[in-house]
Structure formats: structure tokens, C-alpha cells
Amino acid sequence: MSQIKYTEDHEWIEIHGDGTATIGITDFAQEQLGDLVYVEVPEEGSEITKGEAVSVIESVKAASDLIAPVSGTIIESNQSLEDEPEKVNEDPMGAGWFIKVQIADESELEDLMDEAAYQACIE
């Protein structure tokens, strides 16, 4: 069974039971950014470090980064976003995911928020 956690930087992470996770930006984040015009996703096999930028996101309003909510190794990148960045606007927590990672240290998940805490954060 998977669970979803959130960061103060407006990323979501869906934690799967096998030590892997899917990461993207929240609906709130994509609304703030507006229409996305460019997304750069990192290469599979890349190491990511919690708190560091792993992906570039550009919209008609601003440029931003996807910040890693955990450290680990990228096992899959959503390459389709490079040609279709609008997927993030249309379905940020589904087809608009950015990366899938093998989590290096599951204790890092303890710093993340559940949905109720995240909703309180954005209100």
C-alpha cells in the first residue's frame, strides 16, 4: 500500500511499499506557476540529495525547481514531460509525475507532511 507525503516546497511523494517512491509537484504548485512551458527531468541512474534541485520547471510566469524530498537514485524519469509539460498542469499528481526513485534513507520521510498538515500549510 502506498502513502503520499508533502513538502513545504510543494512537492508530493508517493511512497510505495518496496522502498521506491514517485515524486512530482502538487496541484497548488502548478496553479501558482501557471501554464508550464518547459520541464527538464534528470537522467535515470542519477543520485539525488534531499533538499537539492533535481528538475527545472519553467512556466509563463516563473522558473522553479523540483526539490528532492528524499535522497536516493532515480530509477525512472517521466521523459514525456519534456515534450508535453502541460501534463503537469492537467494531472500533477498522476500523468504529470516527474521521477521515480529508490529511497536511500527512509528516515528522511519523517520530516514530510501528511495531507492534513499540507492543506493547513497552504491555507
Residue 56 C-alpha cell reads as 527545472
Q: What is the mean pLDDT of residues 95-108?
A: 98
- What would the pLDDT profile of 89-100 be if each residue is shown by its tens digit? 999 999 999 999
Could you tell me the residue range of the domain that residue 64 belongs to?
A: 3-122
- What would the pLDDT profile of 40-81 be if each residue is shown by its tens digit? 999 999 999 999 999 999 999 999 999 999 999 999 999 999
How many domains is the chain partitioned into structurally? 1
CATH number for the domain that contains residue 72? 2.40.50.100
Contact 14, 3 (CB under 8 A): yes
